[in-house]
Amino acid sequence: MRHPACWGHRPAVMGVINITPDSFSDGGRFNRADLALNEASRQIRDGAQVLDLGAQSTRPGAVDVGAEEELSRLLPCLESIRAAHPQVILSVDTFLESVARAALQAGADWINDVSGGRRDPAMLPLVADAGCPYVLMHSRGDSQTMDNCTDYGDQGVVAGVLQELRLSTDRALQAGLSREQLIWDPGLGFAKTTEQNLLLISHLEALQQDGIPLLLGPSRKRFIGAVLDQPLAKARIWGTAAVCARAVEAGIHVVRVHDVGPISQVVTMAAAVARQGS
């Protein structure tokens, strides 16, 4: 299954490859098969153990392009990378069952679903049948509405996210998935304010009490820009690095990032320090 629960003492680095014209920090850079393959090869050399391919932007305000367009973007890139790098773990970032099905048939290993199974009722049965690892992310609403879905009531964001991840997990298990397939993602930037994102990062240990591996995706996100007063997404690498160092401290299994080389070094060094302190 090639699941991160079986890996070593440091988080795996998942490299982001956006096969879209409109992703928030690198839209249009890798939306051809040759460009995506070159980026995949570079990220693997830089230390990525997993590559996450996405052909539908999920940034705030993004418009759904539909399965046909998503597949037309995704499959040539996926097939090219799979042929060139048969051993690398390939994840596909989609919330549509038909896209996930075609991606698995084309050689994808994981499905990374930002909706946690909410957007397409057929997704969970597909993943159950496939038996593949499934990144179940916490989110609310969709790209058009999530910024208006940040009220977690008196319980607060940490307890609220944990409760909703558990509910999504119950739905996944009822659909036939095993717990061993699951990887949780608390969904930084999705239906969370800057303060709420920071609270989640400071309480990562609380999100691991159920024993399900955790993936964290802080890379270049708005809350880092807000803290650093940095409007340029590509200039948020040091803020991303700080969050990834905290992820190592908390025992996170996977960090999902754009800047694979520098963050691989951060993760390796932070893990070495953590081992000496244990």
Residue type at 143?
Answer: S
Cα(136)–Cα(133) distance, rounded to whole angstroms? Answer: 9
- Tell me if residue 221 is catalytic: yes
Q: Which member of 221, 222, 236, 275 is catalytic?
A: 221
Cα(194)–Cα(198) distance, rounded to whole angstroms? Answer: 6
96 touches 67 (CB < 8 A):
yes
- Tell me if residue 192 is catalytic: no
Q: In this structure, how many other beta carbons lie within 10 angstroms of the beta carbon of residue 195?
A: 12
Can you say whether residue 104 is alpha, beta or left, with left for phi > 0 and alpha for psi between -120 and 50 degrees?
Answer: alpha
For 202-225, give one letter per residue: b (16+ CB within 10 A) or e: ebbeebbeeebbbbbbbbbbbbbb
Residues labelled catalytic: 221, 256
